[in-house]
Structure formats: C-alpha cells, structure tokens
C-alpha cells in the first residue's frame, strides 16, 4: 500500500442510506494527488453537465491529501468540493484545524456524499464504523452549538466535527462549512450544498493517531528542516506574531483601496492592523494540527457593547471585508460580526462584500429603507451590518435577496447595481487590489472558482509568474499542506524553499520517486482540469473578467492614486502561455495531451 494515504474513501448515498467503501487507482492518485485535485477529477466524471448544484444529483466531496495528518509541519488541510451554487463553476474550499487529520486517522482519505436525506442527518464515523444518525434535534442550531451537542452526545475527547449552521440549512449561497469551531471551508457556498443534502454534520473519531508513511525517518528529517526554515522567515514570523491581520498595515501602505466598497485607500490603517489585535484583544495564539506557525488567535472583549466575548479573533480577509469595505473601524465590532458569521455559517469575505455592495446601492438610491425592512444601510453603521448578517443567514426580508450573492442581487436590483457588485464568476473578491498590483487582477479573472485568494494570488505583472503561482497552489491545495507555509509567503520557486520541499515530502510520505518538475506539471494538470470542469458546465472565456471599477475607475486616494488595472494584454499573454485557445478559452489539444488530460475532452479543443 502507498504511504501517506489511508487507502480508502467512503461513498454515502443519503437518498437510499447506502454506504460503501471504495479505493482510488494509483494512477489517479499520482495524477491528481488528493484534496481539490482528486475531488475535481471525481466530480468531472460523475456530474452530468449543467447539474443543478442544490439538487440531489450534485455531489459533495470531502477529501484530504497524502500529507494531511502526517508529521509534516502545517499539513492539516482537507478540501470540500462540489458544483458551486454561487458561481456554477467548480466549487472548492479548504480548511485547516483537526478534522482532516482525524478523518485520516480513522482510516478514510475522503467522503463522497450523494443524494438527499429525507430528514436531517449527521454522519458518525468511528474508525471503520459508519452510521447515519438522526439530526432533527441539531437542525436550527448554530455551528458552535452543533459541535458542543455532538461532543456531549457521542463524543470521546478526540471527536472532530465539520458542520453547517442555519445559513447552510437555509441554502444561503455563501454558506460555509466549519470544523473545530473556527476553521472554515468558507468560500463558494459549499455549506449550501451540504444543507441541500440535509446533512448537518460529519463527526469523526479515531482510536489511533498514526498515518503510515513510506520513510518515516526521512519525513522527520525533512520536517525538522522545514520548521527551521519557517522560523527563519521574517514573513512567517509576522504571521506568527500578529496573525493574518499582521499584514494589514503593510498591504494598506501599498495603496490598497478597499474602503467604501473598493473606492478609497488609507482607511483606519493603524486601528485595524493585527498588531492592535495582539496588543489589545488577544488572549492566546491558536494553531491547526502540527503547525509551528500558529497564525490564529483567540481574543477577549472586556468592555463596550460586545463585552464578555471570548473566542476566535478576525482574520485579515474579515477585517478587510467587514471593516474596510463597510467603513467600520472598530476591531471589537468586526470581531462580533465575524463571530456571528461563524456561528450562522456564512463566509465573512462574501458577507462583508455583499453588505458593502448593498450600502453603495443604498447611498445611490438604488434601494431604500423600505426595501431593507427599515435597516439603515449607511456606511460604518455597525448595527446595520450585524442585523444584515442575521437577515442573510435566515433569508429574512432583504437578507433573502443578499443571500443569493452580490451578482444575482445586483441583477435583481438593476440599474447601475451590477457595476457595484465586486465579484468574479459570482464570487465576491478576496481583499487584494488589482489596481495596486495588476497580477492580482489576472489571478482573480482566471481563477476557476471566482474571486479567490487561495487558488493563487500573485502581485507580479508577469503572467508566467501568475501561472506558476496558480499551479503551485493547485498542488498545495491537493496535498493537505497549508499555503501560508509552502507557497503564499515566498512566490518565486528559487526563493520558495518550502515549495521545493513538496516533492521530497511526497517521496518520503507516499514512496513515489517524484521530481519538482513532475509536481509542477501535476499542478498545471489540476488547474487545467478545473478549467475543463467549468467549460463542461458552460462557464467559458467570457467569465474571465474583472469588475468594471478596477478597469475604468482610477483610485482617487493613496499611493496608487490614478491607477487602474489594464487586464486585456495580461489576459492575452496568459492564454498564450497556458496553451489555451485565444478565441474560445479552451485548452488546446496539444496542451491536453501534454498534461495527459486529452481523454476528458475529445471534441472541444
Ligand atoms: S499557518 Fe495558520 S492556517 Fe496554516 S496550518 Fe498553520 S495555523 Fe493553520
């Protein structure tokens, strides 16, 4: 048996209650690794073109990678994938924490969920024993309550749980899946797919805590080297010391124009920086499984309207989306908003972005207080933001429209609204500004899942660097590794000492004799596979675009004042370098043959 992998996956048909174990061929494992790569390959084969994402015919896949749960530093991740109800593209999202490792310890590489249960259920996995259990009493509970109840009812001390909150149950298209309370598969609406299947949670507990690898001594040696390199990297130190929001000030000083729905730079730079969280709110740093970086932090609020809160603090993306986009400069209020999103199970990036979009519509008179049910959606109005989060999660009143995501909401509102929705392929943008660094624009426009930062986000204006970054991310997201440790903080391969460890880690864990060249080709294959998935489901070149604001409205303030993103020439060069047809956006036949993917799309290149 291969090392690293548990050696089997679980297929659960919720319509019939049938469950069976399956194995994946070594050919597929080597070509697609695991995580989002393997999950996308399965979905490509098994979903009919144009499948309704919220129908029983869509499939929801939880998939670990070959390094998940091994002693490799910062390798806690599992991916969730399905056709996204928000974007209609391939939907993938990955989360850290402890759920992925526990699933592997229990002996499963992944779970394919099919069909729809008649009534709410949860899946209980204890090693090889798998049961579907009634979840009627959990339906309506928030994610924290769900985990606590399951822990009380069934759990031993190692029980880990991935679940949805009310938003997933209500099929809110930006619903997330949470595990370990605050680790999120947040993007692309995977929580809505889980809700559509009436699957409230997956709870897993293993009796052993070990994953067999091919060469344990070598993996230990490599892991020791990696920890040393991580500790010597100043950007990793910043991440450790002040969390993801430790980068806030650095990025804002480059001129990011996030404020007021991406129209202004320089908003509350000192107040919202992560150093402020560390100094004034943090009670402890927290970590995912076996990660020496520990980039998360628990915070406590001792005064003001949110006094008494103690729990996860906000990440950079949340501070950007809820804080800057909506003009809220109070970290305590942002923490409260983040907590509500986590409990209800909605993605903070999309939520902040959608509310900021609605605020701009309100300011411009495209919607009124009558439309919002009396909520004054004015900039910086904290109470309005908190109320709107609740209304979105429960699809109440105006929240029902916003629960569809900014693209659909804008189409419904009409007039100028579609230009104010800051999304790509229907997914609200991550907090990186293409006017400051055009490479971010190219990354967003070509990202197969929408306006994402975890599928590759590179500031360089060189399309070949963007392609390399996207391919490296495809590998990292398919192995169980965390992007912060292996790619995000060192983009160039020559500097990316940690990405260059990936083939060595795979060789030691799995037993393959694999080179950096093969790993990079694998990343390219996975990225192209996701592109093919989208093409199969009718999402083509016309969706490789950016919001008009980035292309035509120069920033009015800050160091990047006057700049726009000139996407067209970057995109043309990108297609050429990718080996994609400039007219149709399809990968050429030669490219598919080179990547050993030509069997997937015989007629369309
Ligand atoms: S860097 Fe942060 S997100 Fe990544 S594995 Fe470590 S603690 Fe988790």
The two tokens of residue 563 are 């700049």
pLDDT given at position 275: 96
Our count of domains for the chain comes to 3
Q: Is residue 215 part of a domain?
A: no
388 domain-assigned: yes
**Segment (H or E) for 568:** helix 567-578
Q: Is the pLDDT of residue 23 over 90?
A: yes
Residue 367 lies in a domain: yes
Tell me if 482 CB under 6 Å of ligand 1: yes
Can you tell me the distance from the alpha carbon of 285 to that of 242, in angstroms, rounded to the nearest whole number?
A: 9
**Does 510 lie in the same domain as 587?**
yes
> In this model, does residue 271 exceed pLDDT 60?
yes
Verify that 358 and 445 share a domain, yes or no: no
Mean pLDDT of 346-359: 98
Handedness of CA 127, 73, 40, 8 (dihedral sign): negative
If one residue of 99, 483, 485, 486 were mutated to test the ligand 1 pocket, choosing by the most ligand atoms within 8 A of its CB, it would be 485
DSSP conformation letters of 232-270: H-HHHHHHHHH-GGGGHHHHHHTT---HHHHTBS-SSHH
Closest CA to 151 of 110, 98, 196, 111: 98
Phi then psi for 385, rounded to 5 degrees?
-65, -45
Cα separation, 366 vs 564, in Å, equals 26
Cα–Cα distance measured from residue 173 to residue 392, given in angstroms and rounded to the nearest whole number: 10
- Asked if residue 236 is part of any domain, the answer here is no
Are 488 and 373 in a shared domain?
no
Q: What is the mean pLDDT of residues 477-495?
A: 77
Q: Which of 428, 463, 492 is the last residue of a domain?
A: 428
pLDDT (0 to 100) of residue 511: 98
- Pocket probe mutation, ligand 1, options 291, 292, 315, 476, max atoms within 8 Å of Cβ: 291
Identify the residue whose C-alpha is closest to ligand 1 atom 4: 482
Does the pLDDT of residue 435 top 90, yes or no?
A: yes
Task: Tell me how far apart the 2 most distant CA atoms of the chain are, in Å.
Answer: 66
Pairing assessment for the beta strands 129-134 and 60-64 based on DSSP bridges: unpaired
Distance, in Å, from the CA atom of 362 to the CA atom of 256, rounded to the nearest integer, reads: 24
pLDDT value at 604 more than 60: no
pLDDT for residue 104 is more than 90: yes
Radius of gyration of the chain (CA): 22
Instruction: Write the residue with the smallest CA distance to atom 8 of ligand 1.
Output: 288
Instruction: Say if residue 602's pLDDT is above 60.
Output: no
Note whether 67 and 149 are same-domain residues: yes
Report CA dihedral (54, 58, 62, 67) to the nearest 10 degrees.
-130
Cβ–Cβ < 8 Å for 120, 198: yes
Residue 293, ligand 1, Cβ within 6 A: yes
Residue 605 has pLDDT above 70, yes or no: no
Give residue-wise pLDDT tens across range 144-199.
999 999 999 997 788 999 999 999 999 999 999 999 988 999 999 999 999 999 99
Residue with tokens 């000083």: 253
Distance (Å, rounded) from C-alpha 15 to C-alpha 152? 28
Rounded to the nearest angstrom, the gap between the alpha carbon of residue 187 and the centroid of all alpha carbons in its chain is: 4
Write down the pLDDT at residue 123: 98
pLDDT per residue over 29-40, tens digit each? 999 999 999 999
Range of lowest pLDDT (313-317, 491-495, 506-510): 491-495
Q: What's the CA gap between 438 and 410, in Å, rounded?
A: 25
* Residue 358: inside a domain: yes
Domain boundary among 146, 176, 205: 205
Q: What is the pLDDT of residues 366-392, one digit of tens each?
A: 999 999 999 999 999 999 999 999 999
Assigned domain for 213 exists = no
Same domain? For 168 and 62 the reply is yes
Q: Answer yes or no: do 40 and 112 share one domain.
A: yes
Band of the pLDDT at 496, cuts 50, 70, 90? low
SS (H, E, C) 326-391: CCCCCHHHHHHHHHHHHHHCECHHHHHHHHHHHHHHHHCCCCCCCCCCCCCCCCCCHHHHHHHHHH
What average pLDDT does the segment 459-482 reach?
Answer: 91
Give the pLDDT score at 458: 62
Tell me, yes or no, whether 27 and 130 share the same domain.
Answer: yes
The whole-angstrom separation of Cα 589 and Cα 470 is 21
Q: Look over the chain and give the mean of its residue pLDDT values, rounded to a whole number.
A: 95
Per-residue pLDDT of 34-93, as tens digits, reads 999 999 999 999 999 999 999 999 999 999 999 999 999 999 999 999 999 999 999 999
- How far are the Cα atoms of 207, 346, 581 from residue 157, in angstroms, in the given order? 11, 27, 54
Question: Do 88 and 109 belong to one domain?
Answer: yes
In this prediction, residue 394 carries a pLDDT of 98
Query: What is the whole-number distance in angstroms between the Cα of residue 276 and the centre of ligand 1?
Result: 20
In a domain, 214, yes or no: no
* DSSP letter for each residue of 423-473: EETTEEPPS--TTT-HHHHHHHHH-TTSS-STT-----S-HHHHHHHHHHH
Range(s) of the domain holding residue 76: 9-205
What are the helix (H) ranges across 6-142? 26-32, 35-46, 99-105
Indicate the pLDDT class of residue 456, thresholds 50, 70 and 90: low
Whether 20 and 81 map to the same domain: the answer is yes
- Can you give the pLDDT at residue 494? 46
Q: What are the structure tokens assigned to 342, written together?
A: 């986590």
Nearest CA to ligand 1 atom 2: 295
158 lines ligand 1 (CB under 6 A): no
CATH code assigned at 40: 3.60.9.10
Instruction: Judge if 393 and 475 occupy the same domain.
Output: no
From 70, 293, 317, the mutation candidate for ligand 1 (largest count of ligand atoms within 8 A of CB) is 293
Q: How confident is the model at residue 488 (pLDDT cuts 50, 70, 90)?
A: confident
Whether 96 lines ligand 1, by a CB cut-off of 6 Å, is yes
Residue 495 pLDDT exceeds 90: no
In the predicted structure, residue 294 carries a pLDDT above the cut 80: yes
Q: What is the pLDDT of residues 107-149, one digit of tens each?
A: 999 999 999 999 999 999 999 999 999 999 999 999 999 999 9
The enclosing H or E element of 22 equals strand 19-22
- Contact between 456 and 466 under an 8 Å Cβ cutoff? The reply is yes
Whole-number Å distance between alpha carbons of 113 and 164: 15
Q: Average pLDDT of 262-273?
A: 95
Ligand 1 pocket, mutate which of 288, 312, 485, 486 (most atoms under 8 A from CB): 288
Look at residue 515 in the predicted model and tell me its pLDDT.
96
Predicted confidence band at 600 (pLDDT cuts at 50, 70, 90)?
A: confident
pLDDT score at 490 = 59
CATH classification at residue 419: 1.10.569.10
Rounded CA separation 434/550 (Å): 7
Please indicate, yes or no, if residue 456 is contained in any of the structural domains.
yes
Mark whether 172 and 283 lie in a shared domain: no
Give the domain CATH number at 587.
1.10.599.10
Confidence (pLDDT) at 459: 63
Long-range contacts of 129-134 (CB under 8 A, 24+ apart): 130/10, 130/12, 130/19, 132/12, 132/14, 132/17, 132/19
Q: Looking at the structure, do residues 191 and 151 belong to the same domain, yes or no? A: yes
Domain-terminating residue out of 150, 184, 205 = 205
């Amino acid at each position: 048996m291969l090392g690293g992998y548990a050696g089997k996956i679980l297929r659960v048909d919720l319509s019939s209650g049938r469950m069976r174990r399956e194995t994946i061929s070594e050919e597929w494992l080597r070509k697609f690794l695991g995580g989002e790569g393997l999950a996308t390959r399965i979905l490509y084969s098994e979903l009919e073109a144009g499948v309704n994402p919220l129908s029983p015919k869509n499939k929801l896949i939880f998939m670990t990678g070959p390094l998940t749960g091994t002693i490799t530093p910062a390798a806690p991740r599992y991916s969730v994938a399905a056709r996204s109800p928000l974007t209609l593209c391939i939907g993938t999202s990955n989360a850290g924490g402890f759920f992925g490792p526990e699933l592997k310890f229990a002996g499963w590489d992944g779970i394919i969920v099919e069909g729809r249960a008649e009534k709410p259920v949860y899946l209980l996995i204890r090693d090889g024993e798998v049961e579907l259990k009634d979840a009627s009493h959990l339906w309506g509970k928030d994610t924290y309550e769900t985990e606590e109840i399951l822990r009380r009812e069934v759990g031993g001390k190692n029980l880990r749980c991935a679940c949805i909150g009310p938003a997933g149950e209500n099929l809110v298209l930006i619903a997330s899946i949470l595990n370990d309370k605050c680790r999120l598969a947040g993007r692309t609406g995977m929580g809505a797919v889980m809700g559509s299947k009436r699957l409230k949670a997956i709870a897993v507990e293993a009796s052993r805590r070990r994953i067999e690898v091919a060469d344990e001594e070598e993996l230990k040696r490599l892991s020791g080297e990696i920890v040393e390199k991580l500790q010597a990297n100043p950007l990793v130190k910043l991440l450790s010391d002040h969390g993801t929001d430790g980068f806030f000030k650095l990025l804002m000083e480059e001129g990011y124009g996030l404020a007021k729905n991406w129209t202004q730079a320089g908003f509350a730079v000192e107040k919202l920086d992560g150093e402020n969280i560390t100094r004034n709110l943090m009670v402890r740093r927290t970590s995912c499984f076996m990660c020496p970086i520990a980039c998360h932090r628990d915070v406590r609020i001792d005064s003001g309207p949110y006094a008494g809160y103690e729990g996860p603090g906000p990440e950079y993306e949340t501070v950007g989306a809820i804080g800057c986009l909506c003009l809220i400069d109070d970290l305590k209020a942002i923490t409260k908003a983040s907590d509500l999103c986590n409990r209800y199970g909605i993605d903070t990036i999309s939520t902040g972005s959608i509310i900021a979009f609605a605020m701009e519509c309100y300011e411009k008179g495209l919607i009124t207080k009558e439309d919002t049910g009396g909520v004054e959606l004015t900039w910086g109005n904290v109470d309005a933001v908190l109320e709107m989060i609740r209304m979105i999660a429960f699809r109440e009143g105006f929240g029902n429209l916003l629960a569809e995501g900014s693209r659909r909401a804008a189409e419904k509102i009409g007039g100028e609204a579609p230009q104010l929705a800051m999304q790509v392929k229907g997914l609200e943008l991550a907090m990186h500004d293409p006017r400051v660094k055009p490479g971010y624009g190219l990354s967003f426009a070509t990202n197969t899942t929408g306006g994402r930062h975890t599928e590759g986000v590179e500031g360089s204006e060189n399309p070949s660097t963007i392609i390399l970054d996207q391919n490296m991310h495809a590998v990292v997201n398919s192995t169980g590794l965390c992007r912060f440790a292996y790619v995000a903080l060192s983009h160039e391969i020559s500097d990316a000492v940690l990405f260059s460890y990936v083939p060595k880690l795979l060789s030691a864990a799995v037993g393959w004799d694999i080179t950096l060249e093969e790993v990079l080709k694998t990343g390219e294959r996975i990225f192209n596979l996701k592109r093919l998935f989208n093409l199969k489901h009718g999402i083509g070149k016309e969706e490789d675009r950016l919001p008009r604001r980035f292309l035509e409205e120069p920033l009015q303030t800050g160091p990047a004042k006057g700049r726009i993103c000139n996407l067209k020439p970057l995109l043309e060069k990108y297609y050429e370098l990718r080996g994609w047809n400039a007219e149709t956006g399809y990968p050429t036949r030669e490219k598919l043959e080179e990547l050993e993917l030509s069997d997937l799309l015989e007629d369309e290149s």
